[in-house]
Amino acid sequence: MGVIKCIGILTSGGDAPGMNAAIRAVTRAAIYNGLKVKGIYRGYKGLVTGEIKEFKSQDVSNIIQLGGTILKTARCQEFMTYEGRQVAYDNMKKEEIDALVVIGGDGSLTGARIFAQEFDVPCIGLPGTIDNDLYGTDTTIGYDTALNTILDAVDKIRDTATSHERLFFVEVMGRDAGFLALNGAIASGAEAAIIPECSTEVDQLEEFIKNGFRKSKNSSIVLVAESEITGGAMHLAERVKNEFPEYDVRVTILGHLQRGGSPSAHDRILASRLGAASIDAIMEDQRNVMIGIEHDQIVYIPFSKAIKKDKPINKDLVNVLKELSI
């Protein structure tokens, strides 16, 4: 691959608040550094179908405050095949795109990694997912906003939970990670969080019933991370109804509302820094790395690490939640 003159940018997988701020940052930083930018629509799908448009600075005006992604997003089956990736590569060549910036979660970065290896294309990843499950960055774009959305919802649920003296199970997203559930529980003053990271150690539900709900509380809120490992909020509620019929149990599944909304200040700043750093990385001839921020410093993490290594939950937080929910 010769000198990089033009970069392509795409968003892929589940959208996350702050993706637009990242698109803006990548575009503006690229133009500032004399590079051409092309927006690729609908994730890898747009690379396969050739839905590509040149972006000027004004194409990304007034988007920093918007949730979702102006580039749209998709999970593309064709790109999962070699033939699909070959078509994508041919389109890249046709459009004279020399390098890609991919904003998305682990599935999207896995796609970038395979594509980069097969076709020797420089790819830079930005962590964009509400799940916060990418190794090598303190937080991912969208996570903070989703957390704040959860707080808004749980604050409201608490009003009705208290009035009716009920036990609420509130299911939050996160795929197989418990960051939203655990930190959401601490920040909302919930009584417990049921997360996949702790599920093999103890029966979290039983522990909560014994230590939390039974002793002193008339109403309780438990945040449950969606995941096959926890079984989800419905499953836990059914268990409680069977084992403790005296409790008045309700379930709220927050669902996709957690993915929407205007990005928080944290996510806008994170996306802006990561977007600008992606262009620095390209100019430094970096390839096949995800850009992260750890301890306020920009870091480059090889795709293999960002995707494959499990980002650990801070177990201190589990103890803080336990201590504060007496």
Q: How far is CA 268 from the centre of its chain?
A: 14
Q: Give 46 or 174: the residue with its C-beta nearer to ligand F6P.
A: 174
Q: Does 105 bind ligand F6P (CB under 6 A)?
A: yes
> Rounded CA gap, 304 and 189, in Å?
36
Does residue 187 contact residue 154 with C-beta atoms inside 8 Å?
no
Rounded least distance, CB 267 to ligand F6P, Å: 14
Residue 131 a catalytic site member: yes
Determine the Cα angle at 225 with ends 224 and 231, to 5°.
80
Q: Does 42 bind ligand F6P (CB under 6 A)?
A: no
Q: Give 130 or 147: the residue with its C-beta nearer to ligand F6P.
A: 130
Q: Give 130 or 291: the residue with its C-beta nearer to ligand F6P.
A: 130
Binding window for ligand F6P (CB under 6 A); candidates: 48-56, 92-100, 125-133, 161-169: 125-133
Question: Which strands sit side by side in the sheet containing 220-225, from one edge to the other?
Answer: 192-194, 220-225, 167-172, 249-253
Does residue 116 contact residue 101 with C-beta atoms inside 8 Å?
no
- Footprint of ligand F6P on 257-276 (CB under 6 A): 259
- Footprint of ligand F6P on 153-192 (CB under 6 A): 173-175
Does residue 181 contact residue 224 with C-beta atoms inside 8 Å?
yes
Q: Give 173 or 270: the residue with its C-beta nearer to ligand F6P.
A: 173
Contacting ligand F6P (CB under 6 A), which of 8, 9, 12, 14?
14
Cα first-last separation, the chain: 60
Total Cβ atoms within 10 A of residue 291:
26
Contacting ligand F6P (CB under 6 A), which of 11, 12, 69, 129?
129
Does residue 153 contact residue 257 with C-beta atoms inside 8 Å?
yes
- Footprint of ligand F6P on 131-160 (CB under 6 A): 131
> Rounded CA gap, 31 and 27, in Å?
6
Rounded least distance, CB 50 to ligand F6P, Å: 24
Does residue 86 contact residue 48 with C-beta atoms inside 8 Å?
no
What are the tokens at 147? 């957390």
> Rounded CA gap, 192 and 205, in Å?
9
Q: Does 130 bind ligand F6P (CB under 6 A)?
A: yes
Size of the site for ligand F6P (CB under 6 A): 10
Each residue 194-233 as x (binds ligand F6P by CB under 6 A) or -, in order, gives --------------------------------x-------
Does residue 24 contact residue 275 with C-beta atoms inside 8 Å?
yes
Of the candidates 107, 184, 116, the residue with the CA atom closest to the CA atom of residue 153: 184
Q: Give 177 or 249: the residue with its C-beta nearer to ligand F6P.
A: 177
Q: Give 182 or 276: the residue with its C-beta nearer to ligand F6P.
A: 182
Q: Which of 15, 98, 106, 131 is catalytic?
A: 131
CA 133, 269, 256, 221 torsion-angle sign: positive
> Rounded CA gap, 224 and 85, in Å?
38
Binding window for ligand F6P (CB under 6 A); candidates: 78-86, 123-131, 211-219, 230-238: 123-131
Binding window for ligand F6P (CB under 6 A); candidates: 40-48, 126-134, 269-277, 314-322: 126-134
Rounded least distance, CB 66 to ligand F6P, Å: 18
Amino acid symbol at 271: A
Q: Give 125 or 174: the residue with its C-beta nearer to ligand F6P.
A: 174
Q: Does 235 bind ligand F6P (CB under 6 A)?
A: no
Residues that bind ligand F6P (CB under 6 A): 14, 105, 129-131, 173-175, 226, 259
Residues classed as catalytic: 131
